[in-house]
Amino acid sequence: MRRRKYNRLTKVIVSIPLGLVLCVFSTALLLTYLKSWSWVSSGPTLNPDSFEATYLEPIAPELVAVRHHSPSTGNGSFALTGINLGADMVSYCYGVSLWDEGYTPWDPTVDAEPTSVNIMRYRFGWPMRMLHYDDISTGSSIADPIVFAYHQRANAIAGIHRGLDRPSWLPGFIPLYRVPIAVNWFTLVINVLTWSALCYALMSCLSWLRAWIQRRRIKGGLCASCKYPVGDFERCPECGTEIRIA
């Protein structure tokens, strides 16, 4: 009984760092696997009132829509909605939404301020999103100096939400667009605990399976570890394992 208790404690102690490793590994995999363009454009529209206005509020038109987007297959034709794949995108639409009819890109020769700004927030983590980077778009080319200046201002306000530039040493087959550094610590803890619980459950299943196999062997008159027929011996003559019902 003491041994069993000790085993349980060992499993808990081992499963937490293992859960942390799996949490980090799965997020890294999502980041390097999902292309920034493999997202469906039609997600459910969420109530903008239920969202806090983001950092862009002082320099953007009014927030009109918040949309939730799910990842899709590479060419965007097959939406994987309803499945928690550990990644999604939330778009905050200021002014005229990019996905609305009547949308025209900002023309800086007509309007000094942008008519439409979108924050596309790419979020990662399973089961909850714990890491994100923001991509700010005005729908206009930054070749225009006015548009470029606006983007610089917006990116400066975004700070860590914007993430880091893609490292130049990254091999071309990894489609990572930006490196997210904005962390939600609360969901990170939940994710690590979830992965740890999965590790614990898996370890429990394995030790249960092992105990079941051993019990079956002992009942059949075999050594629990090497399957040698032990008869009335107290110790296996082949490998020296003590014969006892676990």
Contact set with Zn ion (CB under 5 A): 223, 226, 228, 236, 238-239, 241
Instruction: State the amino acid at position 152 in one-letter form.
Output: Q
In the complex, minimum distance from the CB of residue 217 to Zn ion, in angstroms, rounded to a whole number: 9
Which residue's CB is nearer to Zn ion, number 192 or number 222? Answer: 222
Contact 64, 92 (CB under 8 A): no
In the complex, minimum distance from the CB of residue 81 to Zn ion, in angstroms, rounded to a whole number: 54
Which residue's CB is nearer to Zn ion, number 207 or number 241? Answer: 241
In the complex, minimum distance from the CB of residue 234 to Zn ion, in angstroms, rounded to a whole number: 12
The count of other CB atoms within 10 Å of the CB of residue 204 is 14
In the complex, minimum distance from the CB of residue 220 to Zn ion, in angstroms, rounded to a whole number: 13
Which residue's CB is nearer to Zn ion, number 155 or number 225? Answer: 225
Which residue's CB is nearer to Zn ion, number 170 or number 239? Answer: 239
Which residue's CB is nearer to Zn ion, number 111 or number 242? Answer: 242
Q: How many CA atoms lie within 13 A of 6 on its CB side?
A: 3
